[in-house]
């Protein structure tokens, strides 16, 4: 008999139980992304078929950058990224034409290291928030919205999952052009 898969929520360490469930979901989202890209070469990360605008490497960079952006600007209320995050995110999100900044020639280990660094910073902030702090919205008139940390957590998971779908499509094409 095969082992039973565990499809349960095991709350992460956090000040508040609701928050602990959010952090578990955040970790589950990242785990799925990491499993999907496991073992990819630089060539596979850089592969860009004509039908697509972004490579897997570009998408991994973008996922990390957006998480850092929401954490630093929206949740922490900073004008810029934390110094250690800024050091690993030198490119802007988009170029002058509104397309994601192209990231090539970067190993999977470097992409995962960047994602892990950003996530560690996010966890250190989010794990300390109370339910009231999670639900307290900040107005950001310069961006035209009001945002709460709880919504930010939801958005980060949704954002990553949507790009993981793109990554899955790219992996299907990579397999088709280079089977085995």
pLDDT on residue 161: 98
Question: How many residues in the chain?
Answer: 180
Decide if 135 contacts 148 (C-beta within 8 A).
yes
Decide if 34 contacts 108 (C-beta within 8 A).
no
Please identify every stretch of the chain with a pLDDT value under 70, giving residue numbers as ranges: 1, 179-180
What stretch of H or E contains 85?
Answer: helix 83-88
Decide if 63 contacts 115 (C-beta within 8 A).
yes
3-state secondary structure at position 80: coil
Give the chain's domains with CATH numbers: 37-177 (1.20.120.450)
pLDDT on residue 2: 79
Q: pLDDT tens, 115-132?
A: 999 999 999 999 999 999
pLDDT on residue 93: 96
- Model-level pTM? 0.93
pLDDT on residue 6: 81
State the Cα–Cα distance between residues 153 and 150, nearest whole angstrom: 5
State the Cα–Cα distance between residues 144 and 160, nearest whole angstrom: 23
Question: Which among 92, 39, 30, 82 is positioned nearest to 61, based on CA atoms?
Answer: 92
Question: Which among 26, 15, 9 is positioned nearest to 71, based on CA atoms?
Answer: 26
pLDDT on residue 19: 86
């Amino acid at each position: 008999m095969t082992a039973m898969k565990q499809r349960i929520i095991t709350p992460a360490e956090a000040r508040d139980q609701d928050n602990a469930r959010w952090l578990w979901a955040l970790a589950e989202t990242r785990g799925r992304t990491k499993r999907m890209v496991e073992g990819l070469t630089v060539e596979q990360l850089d592969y860009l078929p004509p039908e697509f605008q972004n490579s897997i490497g570009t998408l991994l960079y973008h996922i990390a950058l957006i998480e850092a952006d929401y954490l630093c600007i929206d949740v922490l209320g900073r004008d810029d990224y934390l110094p250690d995050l800024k050091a690993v995110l030198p490119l802007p999100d988009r170029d002058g034409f509104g397309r994601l900044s192209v990231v090539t020639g970067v190993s999977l280990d470097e992409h995962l290291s960047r994602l892990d660094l950003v996530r560690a910073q996010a966890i250190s902030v989010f794990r300390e928030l109370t339910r009231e702090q999670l639900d307290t919205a900040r107005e950001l008139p310069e961006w035209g919205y009001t945002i709460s940390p709880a919504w930010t957590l939801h958005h980060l998971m949704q954002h990553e999952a949507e790009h993981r779908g793109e990554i899955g499509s790219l992996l299907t094409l990579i397999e088709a052009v280079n089977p085995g």
